[in-house]
Amino acid sequence: MLKVVGVFGAVLTMFAYAVLAERKISAWIQGRVGPNRTAPPLALKIPFLGALLQSWGIFQPMADGLKAFLKEDFTPNYVRKAYFWLAPAISMVPAFLVLAVVPFGSKLGNEPMVIANLDVGILYTFGIISLGVYGVVLAGYASNSKYPFLGGIRSSAQMISYEIAMGMSVVPLFLIVGELNLSDVITWQAKNGWLILYSPISFVIFLIAAFAETNRLPFDLPESETELIGGYHTEYSSMKFALFFMGEYAAMIAASAMMVTLFFGGWTLPGLSEPASSIAVGLLHIGIFVAKLLAFMVLFIWVRWMLPRFRYDQLMDLGWRRFIPLALANILVTAVVLWMRSAKP
Amino acid sequence: MIVKREKLTFWERLYLPALLGGFKITASHLVDTLFRGNNVAKQVSKGYYPEIPWTVGQNYRGAPYLVRDQEGHTKCVSCQLCEFVCPPKAIKITPPGPDGQTADRANAEKMPLEFEINMLRCIFCGFCQEVCPEEAIFLQKDYSLTGLSRKEMIYNKEKLLTLGGTHAGVQKWKHKLEEAKEQESFPVKV
């Protein structure tokens, strides 16, 4: 129970500061300064540190959160009310559910640092991740106006295309490891080296599909601020919009966590791969996991300010005609190599 | 015109060189901003915009205000052309009516009883300035208008005249008056 609260709290904090990081990094890339003014009244009284934290925008997420709560929650007259209210929640929940099976550390005391140690972890993950699209599609349908509708349609097509590529990209990993439990995947990697070394093509496909699954640029077609005015969340305001936002970032965190677990050895580092026997090492393992996860978050954010959005047909072309055949070939080659190696005496 | 499309090499079609180029250029910009202060984020003097005000360009067109002529009279004659031309319908003029107040200057029949510009609606397009036959309204250099309520953002005649100040340009009717006076005597020297 404590773990659930801990992970939930950590993800919410990470969400808040990912938004800040997004704003800061985008500012730096574009030659601006980013948020550097928000500070609660007493914070500036602290000598030096107060002003420094202010210039880093450390307090900005508080102001953003407060704003989201206090803003006028506007429901247009023409929306389908029940679904309109339901959609933000549905878009947020799946990302959190995925995090339940990701091992974020080895052990603290005797407690394994994973909320649910499922034997079919990866199947569960893919089952849940694909539910995320319902929130977006429902929002598009419920809003009952053209831009959200287009966003919803795009989202469903995009999700279906990339879900397949993503699912097939990880099949070689499980051929190699022979387990579906994510904790076992990590144990295997601790023994034999990170899986990205065994199957880099899987990683590339998974990474790009993750961008598409989380609606991040260059694949943010359901949202496309410039052409669809925000796409599926055009009609949403205040906290309901914040929930969509949270859903997007939670999905990013979940995708990063999946990549760390599947390809980069989870909480292990070479030399630090034994399950922790003391609290300090346990915390260190969590720290390693979080650090790897943050590196992926930065990558997500960085790419957003780097690439232009794909055209819709290019997106579909990439998904169906490039990645799916590539993923299939990857499975085949891996299987053949494994078979040949096992055939040897 | 038909753009000639170069055939891309296999390496280029992989999209990877573009990706690497993207990483390189964004990283260089990031380093520039963070460590070298080589661009807009560079601090010219101590601080950023709200403390260090922006130097408004000479031809900047900001909020429209009413102006007075050199003698301190209201130039507006309440013709309502600006009200009609205003695309977002931000201007609302209340004319004095048939028995109302007369103008505070010669050569004008009337002046507005009330002249309101809703700055929340105004888009600073400058049509009012363009259409005004009396040169009574000008887009001036104010760009940052704030208020704590919607009501506060509706500027009335008094406020607009205070903010607008005196216009040092032509005094159309004064010139006409002088012209008319000149024509009383002979020979006409215009």
The tens digit of pLDDT for each residue in B94-106 reads 998 888 888 888 7
The answer to whether A149 touches A140, Cβ cutoff 8 Å, is yes
Contact yes or no for B41 and A33 at CB 8 A: yes
The answer to whether A211 touches A162, Cβ cutoff 8 Å, is no
The two structure tokens encoding residue A295: 């590196």
Instruction: Say what the pTM is.
Output: 0.76
pLDDT at A110 over 80: no
pLDDT at A188 over 90: no
pLDDT 10s digits, A159-168: 888 888 888 8
pLDDT at A221 over 60: yes
The winner for highest mean pLDDT among A216-225, A227-236, B64-73 is B64-73
- Residue A213: name the closest of A90, A94, A298 by CA: A94
Q: Are strands B114-118 and B154-155 parallel, antiparallel or unpaired?
A: antiparallel
For A153, other C-beta atoms within 10 Å of its C-beta total 17
Tell me how close the Cα of A128 comes to any Cα of chain B, in angstroms: 31
Q: Give the whole-angstrom CA distance, residue A28 versus residue A34.
A: 7
Angle at A237 between CA A161 and CA A78, to 5 degrees: 80
pLDDT at B51 over 80: no
Place of tokens 């773990």: A3
Q: Which among A23, A24, A29, A36 is the top mutation candidate for probing chain B, defined by the most B β-carbons within 10 Å of its own β-carbon? A: A29
Tell me how close the Cα of B13 comes to any Cα of chain A, in angstroms: 12
Q: Where in chain B is the domain with CATH 3.30.70.3270?
A: 64-170
Angle at A157 between CA A153 and CA A160, to 5 degrees: 140
pLDDT at B177 over 80: no
The answer to whether A180 touches A119, Cβ cutoff 8 Å, is yes
Tell me how close the Cα of A81 comes to any Cα of chain B, in angstroms: 29
Radius of gyration of chain B (CA): 27
User: Which of A14-18, A109-113, B123-127 is predicted least confidently?
Assistant: A109-113
Task: Please identify among residues 75-94 of chain B the ones whose CB lies closer than 8 Å to any CB of chain A.
Answer: none
Decide which of A285 and B150 is more confident.
Answer: B150
Name every chain B residue with its beta carbon within 8 A of the beta carbon of A28.
29-30, 33-34, 41
Mean pLDDT, residues A189-201 = 83
B64-170 CATH fold: Alpha-Beta Plaits (3.30.70)
Tell me how close the Cα of A14 comes to any Cα of chain B, in angstroms: 22
Contact yes or no for A28 and B29 at CB 8 A: yes
pLDDT 10s digits, A44-99: 777 778 777 877 888 888 888 888 888 888 888 888 888 888 888 888 888 888 88
Question: For position A124, what pLDDT does the model report?
Answer: 85
Residues 6+ apart with CB under 8 A from A285: A105, A106, A107, A113, A267, A268, A272, A276
Average pLDDT, chain A: 84
pLDDT at B125 over 60: yes
* Furthest C-alpha separation in chain B: 90
Task: Please identify among residues 286-325 of chain A the ones whose CB lies closer than 8 Å to any CB of chain B.
Answer: 302-303, 305-307
Mean pLDDT, residues A318-338 = 89
The answer to whether A190 touches A273, Cβ cutoff 8 Å, is yes
Q: Searching chain B, which residue's CA lies closest to the CA of residue A204?
A: B16
Mean pLDDT, residues B69-87 = 90
- State what percent of residues in chain B have pLDDT above 90: 29
Question: For position B81, what pLDDT does the model report?
Answer: 94
* Alpha helices by DSSP H, chain A: 2-29, 49-56, 60-70, 81-99, 121-129, 132-143, 146-169, 171-177, 182-192, 195-198, 200-213, 225-228, 238-263, 279-304, 312-317, 324-343
Q: Give the whole-angstrom CA distance, residue A29 versus residue A23.
A: 10
Q: How confident is the model at residue B118 (pLDDT cuts 50, 70, 90)?
A: very high
Contact yes or no for B26 and A29 at CB 8 A: yes
pLDDT 10s digits, A293-324: 999 999 998 988 888 888 888 888 888 888 89
Contact yes or no for A31 and B22 at CB 8 A: no
Q: Which among A23, A30, A303 is the top mutation candidate for probing chain B, defined by the most B β-carbons within 10 Å of its own β-carbon? A: A30
- State what percent of residues in chain B have pLDDT above 70: 91
pLDDT 10s digits, B27-45: 888 888 887 776 665 655 6
For A305, other C-beta atoms within 10 Å of its C-beta total 18
